[in-house]
Amino acid sequence: MPRKDLKPIGDLIQATGRGLDCLAGGFTIDPWKPVELSLITHAHADHARPVATRYIASKASVPLLRHRLGQDICIQGVDWGETLLLGDTRVSFHPAGHVLGSAQIRVEREGEVWVFTGDYKPDSDPSCEAFELVPCDTFITEATFALPVYRWPDGGTVVAEIIDWWQQMKRSNRPAVLFAYSLGKAQRVLAELRAYTDELVYLHGAVAPMTQLYRDAGIDMVPTELIDPKAPRQDYAGKLVLAPPGASGSKWMQRFPKASTGFCSGWMRVRGNRRRDGYDRGFVLSDHADWQGLLNTIEATGATRVLTTHGQSATLVRYLREERGIDAAELRTQYTDKSAVTPPTYEQASR
């Protein structure tokens, strides 16, 4: 806890060597080095690391965090919008629309409001809470897809493409193996599919536990079955299989002879990314904001200052400064800093 007589000066939230530190509140957001108290935006491995003594997160995030960081961690779940008094600050969690339980963290001190988005997506998604716009003075935004070529097609259209592809594979008697990150993207696909089918979808071992946690949280998804690696091989012709991208090209894939492969990711918007990894199909389904989504959100928050993390930070900063006249700067963090040509692999980081 900060000492009352020692008033911290400078920015309310600062990127230090260990995370996004809030000295006035005595906590660190999404730390990557050991800290006492951490506030976690969401359960992806670049944001949730087992480095804190105590954790605070949205209630919906708690089971996911326990799964990833350990069942015995000391964690407090808070309701959406509930105000916590931490040090000199008032803190609340607001849905970020990224994955189940993902939060933006609002921090207020003496009328000055900061928001850190973590990762976010303003588009609709049946598998998680809808993004909430939180007005603020300083907005710390992710910039994973901050290039104007990243424009997301409507999610329903993309899922219809997945259904089409699955149907084609049924006709040609081949398995359809769809790669999607095991936390968030895979469950979004399973939830979106619900509008089209009730057919069983098969899951890789990395996807199954997350999916169960989503079911426990009441998310409506198509029925699924775990592929038991020890069970005798069976024929998956015409079946849809969901697996993490790390399984691509692995021995595990040998059980799906003649499979057609697809990858669900915002990176698939660019053909070279898809060709590079040899996926047959790329489905543009992202859990981040696209270029326009970032600009619209930034404008709508009314923020006069914008700080950026992730991906194309430098591009977004230059654009905001030169074209929008906004006071913008990059924050140096350790959140997955993947360039546009390197799709992030949360799975690998968490293993």
Partner 1 sequence: MKAFARLYQSLDQTTSTNAKVAAMQEYFADAAPEDAAWAVYFLSGRRIKRLIGAALLRTWLVEESELPAWLVEDTYASVGDLAETIALLLAPTHDTGDVSSLSDLIEDKLLPLRGAEPAQQRAVVTTWWRTQAYERCYLINKLMTGALRVGVSQILLARALAENADLPRAVILHRLMGEWQPNAAFYNALIAEDDGAASQSRPYPFCLAAPLADAAGINTDCLASIETTLGPVSHWQAEWKWDGIRAQLVRRGGETFLWSRGEELIGERFPEIVAAAEKLDDGTVLDGELLAWKLPYTDEGVLPFAELQRRIGRKTVGKKLLNDVPCLFLAYDLLENNGEDLREYPLHARRTRLQALIGHSQSDDTRHGLQLSRQLEASDWSTLAEHRSDSRARQVEGLMLKRVDSAYGTGRKRGLWWKWKIEPHTVDAVMIYAQAGHGRRSNLFTDYTFAIWDDDVLVSFAKAYSGLDNSEIKKLDKWIRGNTIERFGPVRSVKPEQVFELAFEGINASSRHKSGIAVRFPRISRWRHDLSAKDADTLASVKRLIANSNG
Binding site for partner 1 (CB under 8 A): 147-149, 151, 153, 172, 248-250, 258, 260, 269-273, 275-276, 278, 280-281, 315, 318-319, 322-323, 339-342
Inter-CA distances, 180 with 30, 38, 76, 163, 348, Å: 23, 28, 29, 15, 13
Task: Read off the tokens for 292.
Answer: 């326009």
Q: Who contacts 137 (Cβ-Cβ below 8 Å, separation ≥6)? A: 112, 113, 114, 303, 304, 305
User: Closer to Zn ion at the Cβ: 214 or 335?
Assistant: 335
- Considering the complex, what minimum distance in angstroms separates the CB of residue 49 from partner 1? 18
Residue nearer to Zn ion on the CB measure, 89 or 350:
350
Phi, psi of 328 (to 5 degrees): -130, 150
Q: Which amino acid is at 172?
A: S
Which is closer to Zn ion, CB of 30 or CB of 192? 30
- The angle formed by the CA atoms of residues 186, 190 and 195, to the nearest 5 degrees, is 150
Helix (H) or strand (E) holding 55: strand 52-58
Query: At its nearest, how many Å lie between Zn ion and the CB of residue 114?
Result: 18
Q: What is the dihedral of CA 38, 42, 51, 31, to 10 degrees?
A: -60
Residue 94 or 274 having the CB closest to partner 1: 274
The listed partner (partner 1, Zn ion, none) that binds 119, CB under 5 to 8 Å by sort, is: Zn ion
- Residue by residue, DSSP assigns 29-75 as ES-SS-EEEEE-S-SSTTT--S-EEEEEEEGGGHHHHHHHH-TT--E
Select from partner 1, Zn ion, none the partner in contact with residue 250, using the beta carbon and a kind-dependent cut-off of 5 to 8 Å.
Answer: partner 1
Least separation in angstroms between residue 223's CB and Zn ion is 26
- Residue 335 interacts with which of Zn ion, partner 1, none, CB < 5 to 8 Å by class: Zn ion
C-beta closer to partner 1: residue 3 or 271? 271
Residue 341 partner contact from partner 1, Zn ion, none using kind-dependent CB cut-offs of 5 to 8 Å? partner 1
- Report the C-alpha gap between 302 and 286 in whole angstroms: 25
Q: In angstroms, give the least distance from the CB of 77 to partner 1.
A: 35
Cβ atoms of 267 and 180 closer than 8 Å: no
State how far the alpha carbon of 190 is from the alpha carbons of 171, 216, 287, in Å: 22, 14, 14
Which residues sit at the interface with Zn ion, rule CB under 5 A? Answer: 44, 46, 119, 335
Residue 233 is given by DSSP the state P
Q: Which is nearer to Zn ion, 46 or 88 (CB)?
A: 46
Minimum CB distance to partner 1, residue 98 (Å): 23
In whole angstroms, give the CA distance from residue 305 to residue 332. Answer: 16
70 binds, among Zn ion, partner 1, none (CB under 5 to 8 A by kind): none
Task: Give me the least distance between CB of 179 and Zn ion, in Å please.
Answer: 17
Minimum CB separation from partner 1 for residue 342, in Å?
8
Of all helices (H) and strands (E), which one includes residue 190? helix 185-193
Residue 44 contact, options Zn ion, partner 1, none, Cβ 5-8 Å cut-off depending on partner type: Zn ion
In the list Zn ion, partner 1, none, the entry touching 188 (Cβ below 5 to 8 angstroms by class) is none
Classify 71 as helix, strand or coil. coil
Asked if 220 and 197 count as a contact pair (C-beta separation under 8 A), the reply is no
Nearer of residues 74 and 341 to partner 1, judged by Cβ: 341
| Residue closer to partner 1 (CB basis): 29 or 147 | 147
Write down the least CB distance from residue 270 to partner 1, Å: 5
Lookup: tokens for 347: 């799975």
Distance CA 280, CA 217 (A): 33
290 binds, options Zn ion, partner 1, none, Cβ within 5 to 8 A by partner type: none
